Amino acid sequence: MSSSLDLFCEALESIHAEGKNIVVFTGAGVSTLSGIKDFRSSDGAYSKPFHGRCVEDILSLDTFRHEPDLFYAWAKEFCYCLDRFQPNIVHKMVAHLEEKSYSRGVMTQNIDVLHQAAGSKHVLEIHGSPSKHHCLKCRQSYSYEEIAPKVMASELPKCSCGGIIKPDIIFYGEQLNERVLSACVRESESCGLFIVLGSSLVVQPA
The closest of 28, 139, 154 to 80, measured between CA atoms, is 154
Cα 148 from Cα 186, distance rounded (Å): 34
Going by DSSP bridges, is the β-strand pair 191-197/21-26 parallel, antiparallel, or unpaired?
parallel
Cα 104 from Cα 82, distance rounded (Å): 25
- Is 127 a catalytic site residue? yes
Region for 101 from its dihedrals, namely left if φ exceeds 0, alpha if ψ lies in -120 to 50, beta otherwise = left
* DSSP letter, residue 31: H
Sheet hosting strand 128-135, strand order edge to edge: 141-143, 128-135, 165-169
| Catalytic residue chosen out of the listed positions 51, 127, 133, 134 | 127
Active-site residue set: 127
